């Protein structure tokens, strides 16, 4: 369990509350090992990720994480060398634990229709897709350097992918598609980038092994537009690291709030790290205003993918849907819904109660 920075501790507290209550109901026990990552690790140990944290994480079945980072304008963490900032810890733990497949879900719940910023006729077509973002390769992990050339600074980030890196996440994408609506969209920039052309080639070859999956190829600029124009067309979206980072933020807003988007970062096997897609929101930290639902839904993903507790996962997801009929955190509230505004802790309590009261 990594609470992290900003709103991290508050939202994790609520996810733990819901997990414990769900475990009690379904007859299993959760054991939490607290670990440090990000800013709080810098404060204690001078680095955002310690070998100890990596070693401890490896002894667990899964990692549940809040959020890391601070306000770059005011936090002393951002006066450190980029390699020692909170975000480096997050990238480091993803790499160290082999978490190459990041799943970010966008589902528009009926009861959140009014929180959706898209036109009603578009929202009514239904939104239910998952972005599979490659998480340990590409630009974020390629060689980086800043040098002086001809009297001026030149900065370089290398974007490279190998066939095997593409294939191992594409397998997860095809398998997900088979369990869903059997539609896969590869998002790339194959009209410009060499690495994208390799993604197309590998995915195109693999498509032959999945004849039932309808495979579509889309340039990332068009995908950014299609996500708001007609999001109902997407089922599984497969893409490289940076495109996935950008599109998943857009995808979260399409379903009402980034405070609703859970994520699962999976390694080979059943191990995974589960964290909300949103950041640490230092501006509202400690005010009992943060929406804990993305973290609670990430905990449900953890029950499903790493702990083998599918029924418990569904119970948590159902509880969230039930609670949204009556209560909202401020980020989800719109003028024309007749729900009550609640804080972080009360929201967690409501979800736990809803799990407890399920038949």
**What residues are labeled active site?**
140, 189, 221, 245, 249
Nearer to ligand IPM, 111 or 245 (CB): 245
**Segment near ligand IPM (CB under 6 A), from 86-94, 141-149, 175-183, 203-211?**
86-94
Applying CB under 5 A, which residues contact Mg ion?
Answer: 245
**Segment near ligand IPM (CB under 6 A), from 87-95, 166-174, 182-190, 284-292?**
87-95
Contact between 322 and 328 (Cβ < 8 Å): no
Task: Say whether 169 sits in a helix, a strand or coil.
Answer: helix
Please report how close the Cβ of residue 137 comes to ligand IPM at its closest, in angstroms: 12
CA torsion through residues 244, 213, 303, 15, sign: positive
Which residues on adjacent β-strands are paired with residue 274?
64, 264
Query: In the chain, at which residue ranges do the beta strands (DSSP E only) sit?
Result: 2-4, 62-67, 101-107, 128-134, 144-149, 152-157, 183-188, 214-219, 236-239, 262-266, 272-276, 327-328, 340-341
Q: Is 240 in the site for ligand IPM (CB under 6 A)?
A: no
Selected from 87, 235, 240, 322, the binder of ligand IPM by CB under 6 A is: 87
* Residues in the chain, total: 359
Q: How far apart are the C-alpha atoms of 343 and 6, rounded to whole Å?
A: 16
Nearer to ligand IPM, 65 or 202 (CB): 65
Q: Is 134 in the site for ligand IPM (CB under 6 A)?
A: no
Tokens representing 290 are 């943060």
Q: How far apart are the C-alpha atoms of 316 and 48, rounded to whole Å?
A: 32
Q: Is 99 in the site for ligand IPM (CB under 6 A)?
A: no
Q: Is 309 in the site for ligand IPM (CB under 6 A)?
A: no
**Position closest to Mg ion via CB:** 245
Q: Is 90 in the site for ligand IPM (CB under 6 A)?
A: yes
Nearer to ligand IPM, 141 or 305 (CB): 141
- Side by side, the strands of the sheet bearing 101-107 are 2-4, 62-67, 272-276, 262-266, 101-107, 128-134, 236-239, 183-188, 214-219
Please report how close the Cβ of residue 356 comes to ligand IPM at its closest, in angstroms: 32
Selection from Mg ion, ligand IPM, none that 354 binds (CB < 5 to 8 A by kind) is none
Binding site for ligand IPM (CB under 6 A): 87, 90-91, 245
């Amino acid at each position: 369990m990594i609470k992290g920075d900003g709103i991290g501790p508050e939202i994790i507290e609520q996810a733990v509350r819901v997990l414990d209550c769900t475990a009690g109901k379904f007859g299993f026990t959760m054991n939490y090992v607290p670990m440090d990552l990000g800013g709080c690790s810098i404060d204690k140990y001078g680095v955002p990720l310690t070998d100890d944290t990596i070693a401890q994480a490896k002894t667990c079945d899964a990692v549940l994480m809040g959020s890391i980072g601070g306000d770059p304008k005011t936090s002393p963490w951002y006066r450190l060398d980029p390699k020692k900032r909170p975000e480096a810890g997050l990238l480091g733990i993803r790499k160290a634990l082999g978490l190459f497949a990041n799943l970010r879900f966008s589902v528009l719940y009926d009861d959140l229709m009014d929180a959706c910023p898209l036109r009603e006729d578009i929202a009514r077509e239904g939104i239910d897709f998952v972005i599979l973002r490659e998480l340990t390769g590409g630009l974020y992990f390629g060689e980086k350097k800043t040098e002086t050339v001809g009297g001026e600074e030149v900065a370089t980030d290398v974007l490279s992918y190998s066939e095997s890196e593409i294939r191992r996440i594409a397998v997860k994408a095809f398998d997900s598609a088979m369990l869903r609506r059997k539609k896969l969209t590869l998002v790339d920039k194959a009209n410009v980038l060499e690495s994208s052309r390799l993604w197309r080639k590998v995915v195109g070859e693999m498509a032959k092994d999945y004849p039932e999956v309808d495979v579509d190829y889309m340039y990332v600029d068009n995908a950014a537009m299609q996500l708001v124009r007609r999001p109902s067309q997407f089922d599984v979206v497969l893409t490289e690291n940076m495109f996935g980072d950008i599109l998943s933020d857009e995808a979260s807003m399409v379903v009402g709030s980034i405070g609703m988007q859970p994520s699962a970062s999976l390694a080979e096997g059943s191990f995974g790290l589960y964290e909300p897609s949103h950041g640490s929101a230092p501006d509202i930290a400690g005010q009992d205003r943060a929406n804990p639902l993305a973290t609670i839904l990430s905990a449900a993903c953890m029950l499903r993918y790493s702990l083998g507790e599918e029924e418990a996962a569904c119970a948590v997801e159902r509880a969230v849907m039930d609670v949204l009929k009556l209560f909202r955190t401020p980020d989800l509230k719109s003028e024309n819904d007749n729900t009550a505004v609640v804080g972080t802790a009360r929201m967690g309590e409501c979800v736990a109660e809803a799990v407890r009261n399920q038949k």
